[in-house]
């Protein structure tokens, strides 16, 4: 694998990172903490993508209003990812459909892919970090 790694401008190694999100937001801290890790990773000029599987697809819902539960609304942070050069957002079709959702329900533009396609993409990564 090492011989396939790209070099970044400063001479460092660029690895392919996938952040795999499988938890719903707000009920537990995983989604928010995971998002923080992704934003931090942007500082290291790596090839980063995010995948949303199972309840993780709920992280991307539009129309979030957290005023009633006294928690920070971090849904809009997904829109800021583009500014950090994190533009590859993948949603597993099976997870989305099992929840009665479509792409129109999401706050950001995503690429919807089948389990098989996502599995292939996962195999191409150097590092997969799961929250």
Partner 1 sequence: MLHIVNKSPTERNSLDSCLRLATKGSAVLLIEDAVYAATKGTAAAAKLQAAMADLKVYALAPDLNARGVAGRVLEGVNLVDYGGFVDLVAEHNTCQSWL
Q: Residues in the site for partner 1, rule: CB under 8 A? A: 23-28, 54-55, 58, 61-69, 71, 73, 75, 98-101, 105
CB of 14 to partner 1, least distance (A): 34
CB-count exposure of residue 1 (10 Å: 0-12, 13-18, 19+): exposed
**Which lies closer to partner 1 via its Cβ, residue 17 or residue 30?**
30
Interior CA angle at 111 toward 48 and 19, to 5°? 30
What is the SS3 string spanning 19-45? Answer: EEECCCCCCCCHHHHHHHHHHHHHHHC
**Which lies closer to partner 1 via its Cβ, residue 48 or residue 91?**
91
CB of 72 to partner 1, least distance (A): 11
**Which lies closer to partner 1 via its Cβ, residue 49 or residue 55?**
55
**Which lies closer to partner 1 via its Cβ, residue 28 or residue 114?**
28
Q: Are 41 and 83 in contact (CB under 8 A)?
A: no
CB of 49 to partner 1, least distance (A): 23
CB of 27 to partner 1, least distance (A): 3
């Amino acid at each position: 694998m090492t011989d396939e790694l790209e070099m970044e401008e400063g001479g460092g190694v660029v690895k392919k990172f996938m952040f795999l999100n499988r938890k719903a937001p707000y009920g537990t801290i995983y989604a928010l903490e995971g998002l923080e890790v992704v934003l931090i990773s942007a500082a290291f000029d790596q090839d980063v993508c995010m995948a949303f599987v199972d309840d993780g697809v709920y992280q991307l819902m539009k129309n979030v209003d957290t005023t009633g539960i006294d928690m920070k609304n971090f849904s809009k942070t997904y829109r800021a990812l583009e500014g950090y050069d994190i533009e590859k957002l993948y949603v597993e079709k099976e997870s989305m459909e099992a929840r009665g959702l479509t792409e129109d329900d999401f706050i950001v533009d995503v690429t919807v892919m089948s389990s098989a396609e996502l599995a292939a993409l996962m195999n191409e990564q150097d590092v997969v970090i799961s929250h």
